[in-house]
Amino acid sequence: GENVEQHPSTLSVQEGDSAVIKCTYSDSASNYFPWYKQELGKRPQLIIDIRSNVGEKKDQRIAVTLNKTAKHFSLHITETQPEDSAVYFCAASIDTGFQKLVFGTGTRLLVSP
């Protein structure tokens, strides 16, 4: 089955710096890659997603890139702010007729003022 690895497990940056979180997946049939942000004690919230027919997607300060050949995808956050501090999860899904997301283990991002 699909396996998703995520790095780093923790990431500390200064406010205004960029942050990059990387994920790799094992199943080349995966075709949907969402990213979720989870604040302490709250539900995971979808922040951006990308499909396998697209190489890059951007939404304001957040961007995601996908390299299907290498089977890895990355989340880029520019001009980080303290409110970006949270745990970020990547996930991958194979379209087997329904969405069955396999999540990475999470990256705890800390943005210091």
Q: Which of 40, 83, 97, 113 binds other proteins (CB under 8 A)?
A: 97
E strands, the chain, in order = 4-7, 10-14, 19-25, 30-38, 45-51, 56-59, 62-67, 72-77, 86-94, 101-103, 107-112
Q: Is 85 in the site for other proteins (CB under 8 A)?
A: no
Q: Is 63 in the site for other proteins (CB under 8 A)?
A: no
Q: Is 64 in the site for other proteins (CB under 8 A)?
A: no
Interface residue list for other proteins (CB under 8 A): 6, 31-32, 34, 42-46, 49, 51, 89, 91, 93, 95, 97-106
